């Protein structure tokens, strides 16, 4: 299948979405607006503090002995290569449906609402960043899907947060390896699996000393995002943060 046929298919789905009344992707109720119905939206939950200041994981309790380093045990012992992670909402049964709808059923109508939540949660990050980079897909996956959901979310979040288009740089980072699922691997296996998974193509050396935000849909183990951050830092980025729609755990 060529990239053109994927693009045509993608645009046809968009066209069809305009003709038939929109349905909630979770419960299939007819809705007036885009995205989920009101009842399903109420099941999308933000991640309430206290949070690890590096990976964004929620602490089960507030650490009374905190010395100002509010990081979880994992970030203290084996920190990821990104400096900070912010998620718009929790990965639960409902947000899973929302994200699967976008990725596999082309429910692009849910993108603006998800992106608005990302823009709210990460307003400061987006504002102070020099560059905003969607986590790239391997080209074979891109051809298969016809779009990169992280790029769709990044553009919509930037629009919602009123961020200048010039900050959007999907051209800097390339995915070189089609990596397998990371879920059941050990940390060491995940690192090996992702070795040289990404490459920076920064000919103008604009990453030198830059603050970068990587956008992605879901943070599960964080291994891919960490690998991308490592690659950007090697190329000169001073600070790398990640902004994701949903966080597992």
Q: Which residues of the shown chain bind Zn ion in the complex (CB under 5 A)?
A: 24, 26-27, 37, 40, 52, 54-55, 57, 72, 75
Minimal distance, residue 80 CB to Zn ion, in Å: 8
Q: How far is the CB of 56 from Zn ion (least distance, A)?
A: 7
| Contact assessment for residue 214 and residue 228, using Cβ atoms and an 8 Å cutoff | yes
Closest separation in Å from C-beta 23 to Zn ion: 8
Compute φ and ψ for 140, nearest 5 degrees: -65, -35
Nearer Cβ to Zn ion (75/200):
75
Between 54 and 150, CB nearer to Zn ion: 54
Of 57 and 233, the one with the shorter C-beta distance to Zn ion is: 57
Q: Which of 154, 89, 90, 88 is nearest to 126 (CA)?
A: 154
Q: CB of 50: closest distance to Zn ion in angstroms? A: 11
- 3-class DSSP state of 14: helix
Q: Which is nearer to Zn ion, 51 or 118 (CB)?
A: 51
Secondary structure in 3-state letters for 73-142? HHHHHCCCCCCEEEEEEECCHHHHHHHHHHHHCCCHHHHHHHHHHHHHHCHHHHHHCCEEEECCCCHHHH
Summary count for the chain: helices (H), strands (E): 10, 6
Task: Report which of 118, 122, 152, 123 is spatially closest to residue 135, judged by C-alpha positions.
Answer: 152
Nearer to Zn ion, 4 or 61 (CB): 61
Q: Report the nearest approach of Zn ion to the CB of residue 222 (Å).
A: 9
């Amino acid at each position: 299948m060529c990239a053109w046929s994927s693009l045509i298919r993608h645009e046809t789905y968009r066209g069809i979405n305009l003709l038939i009344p929109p349905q909630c992707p979770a419960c299939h109720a007819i809705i007036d607006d885009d995205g989920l119905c009101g009842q399903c939206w109420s099941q999308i939950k933000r991640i309430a503090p206290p949070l690890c200041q590096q990976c964004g994981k929620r602490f089960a309790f507030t650490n009374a002995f905190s010395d100002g380093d509010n990081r979880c045990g994992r970030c203290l012992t084996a920190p990821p290569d990104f400096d900070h992670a912010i998620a718009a909402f929790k990965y639960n049964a409902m947000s899973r449906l929302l994200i699967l709808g976008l990725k596999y059923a082309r429910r692009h109508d849910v993108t603006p609402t998800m992106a608005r939540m990302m823009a709210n949660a990460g307003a400061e990050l987006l504002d102070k960043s020099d560059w905003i980079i969607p986590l790239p897909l391997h080209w074979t996956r891109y051809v298969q899907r016809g779009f990169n959901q992280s790029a769709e979310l990044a553009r919509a979040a930037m629009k919602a947060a009123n961020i200048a288009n010039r900050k959007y740089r999907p051209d800097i980072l390339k995915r070189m390896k089609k990596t397998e699922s990371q879920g059941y691997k050990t940390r060491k296996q995940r690192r090996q699996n992702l070795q040289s998974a990404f490459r920076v193509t920064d000919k103008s050396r604009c990453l030198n000393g830059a603050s970068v935000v990587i956008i992605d849909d879901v943070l599960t183990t964080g291994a891919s995002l960490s690998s991308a951050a490592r690659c950007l830092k090697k190329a000169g980025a001073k600070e790398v943060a990640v902004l994701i729609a949903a966080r597992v755990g």
